[in-house]
Structure 1
C-alpha cells in the first residue's frame, strides 16, 4: 500500500477544498429597466440589485455591482473579471453549455410593443393569461399565425443575444424584416421614431418603458407569450467550476422565495408577481 503511493503528491489524493466566498463581484447591464437601472450619480437600482443585496446578506458575503454591456457579459465572467452575471438571463439548454446557473428567481412572458396609432397589431389585454408555449413548432405556428399575418412586410426590432432573438428569427424572418439592437432601449427609440413597426421583448421591461411619459404613444400588442419556450426562468449566471458558489446562491434564492421576498420585490418593481412556477 505504501509503495503504491510513492511519488504521488499529497495534494493529489486529498479532496479539493471549496473556496471560501467572502466577497462577490456581480456584473449587470444597468439599463434593462426595471430589472436593473443606473440612477443619476451612477448608483445601480432595480429588482435585481435589490434582490442581490438580500441574497448577499443571506450568504454573509460582501457584494459589488459593476456595469457590463450584455454582449460581452459571459466572456467577461469566463475571463475572471467578475464572479456572477445578473441581467434577466433566461436559463436555456444552449446557455447551460457555456455557463452554470442558479435555480430560477423569476419567470416572465414576452410580447410585441407597437405605436398606438399604427394599427399593426391590436392592443394587448393585460388581464389575459399568457399563452403558454413549449419549444414545439407544431404548437407555436398555429398560436402565432395571426401575428405573422399582421406583421407581414413590417420591420421587427429585437435585442441581439436574448432568448427571444432566435424565436423571432425562426418564426418571423420569412414574413418580416428583423433588425437587431445592442440594447432593448435602442429598439424602443427606433420604434418611437417609426424606423421600425414593432419590438418584441420581456413584458416586465415593456411595462417599465410604457410607464414613461415619453412613451405614452406605445402599447403592448397582441397576446403575451410565455411558458417553457423561454426556458426555465431567469437565473444568476456563474462559471460551471464554481459549484460551491452555486450551492450558496441556490440556498439563498430558495429562502427568498419561501419567505415572500421575491414576490414583494417583484410587485414593487413590476406591479406583478414573477415568482417562478412549475412548468
Structure 2
C-alpha cells in the first residue's frame, strides 16, 4: 500500500505505462461483462491484505464483494505488486484496480476512475512528539504548492534537518518532496512496513501516510511506539478521493461500478464498512 515507481499513479505510473497503453489499443472491443478480474496489492492494511490461506481481507475486498453483487458480476480478486499493476490493467491481465488509488488529473490522463468510494486525509507519525506536536488543527490544501507553502511552514520548521520516510510512488510523495526536500532528508521505501520499521528503530524521524493506515496499525506491538502528529492534511491536494481504476475504453464496466458505488453510499454500506475497518467514516 509495493514498488510504486512514480507519484502519478497512487501510487504508480511511469513511461512504461504509455507503451503498455499503446500495445493494448486492440483491447477496445465491447465486452459482455459477466466475470471481472480485480487487482489489489494485498499488502496495505486495512484497505486490503492477504490473509492466511491466500484469501483477501480488509475494507476494499469486503466493499468490492458488495459492489460486484449489486452489479451482478462474478469478481475474482488477485494480488499484484505495484510495478505491474497499471501495465497489467492496460494489457488486459486485470479489468479493475482497487488499492486506495487517489483520483488525480494526472492519473486521469492515462486511466479512468469510478466515482470515489472514500476520501481520507494524511498525516505524519513520529516516535518523539518533541519533533512535531501530537495535536494540531487540520489543514485543507489545494493543488498549488505556492499557496500551500505558508500553511506547512510550521511543519517545515519542525522537520528542518530531520529525515522523513515516505513510501515510493504514493500520491503523498510529491507533496513531501515539494514541501520538505530543501529542509529535510527524504528516504523512500518500497513498502510502508519497511518504512515503519525504520521509524520505530530510530533510523528516520518521521513518516507520512494516510490517517486510516496509521489508525489501523495503532495497536500493533512495535519495538518503539509511534504516534500520529501534526495536522491531518486533506482537501483538493489529494483529489476527490479514492476510486476504482479502469481502462479508458471500458466505460460500460465503469458505469456498472459507478451505479453500485452510488447505491452502497446511499444505503450506508460504505459507512458501515469504513467504521468497521478504519474506526471512522471515510465516505466522500
TM-score when normalising by structure 1? 0.89
The partner residue of 1:120 within 112, 120, 131 is 131
Which residue number corresponds to residue 169 of structure 1? 177
Which residue number corresponds to residue 102 of structure 1? 114
Which residue number corresponds to residue 46 of structure 2? 34
After superposition, give the CA deviation of every residue in 1:212-250 in whole Å (9 maximum; x if it has no partner): 122761000101000111011000011001010011010
Displacement of 1:139 in angstroms is: 3.0
Root-mean-square deviation (Å): 1.5
| 1:144 and 2:149 are equivalent in the alignment | no
The partner residue of 2:262 within 247, 251, 254 is 254
CA distance in 2, matches of 1:216, 1:236: 35
Which residue number corresponds to residue 87 of structure 2? 75
After superposition, give the CA deviation of every residue in 1:116-169 in whole Å (9 maximum; x if it has no partner): x362111136xx6x3211112343111111100111111111111111001111
After superposition, give the CA deviation of every residue in 1:231-274 in whole Å (9 maximum; x if it has no partner): 11000011001010011010000000011100000000011100
The partner residue of 1:212 within 220, 231, 238 is 220
Which residue number corresponds to residue 63 of structure 2? 51
The partner residue of 1:202 within 210, 217, 222 is 210
Give yes or no for contact 1:71–1:161 (8 Å, CA) kept in 2: no
Which residue number corresponds to residue 32 of structure 2? 20
Larger Rg: 1 or 2?
1
| 1:231 and 2:231 are equivalent in the alignment | no
Give yes or no for contact 2:201–2:224 (8 Å, CA) kept in 1: no
| Cα 1:237/1:143, change in 2 over 3 Å | same
Which residue number corresponds to residue 181 of structure 1? 189
CA distance in 2, matches of 1:19, 1:67: 23
Aligned length, in residue pairs: 257
Runs of 5+ consecutive residues of structure 1 not aligned to the other structure: 1-15
Runs of 5+ consecutive residues of structure 2 not aligned to the other structure: 1-27
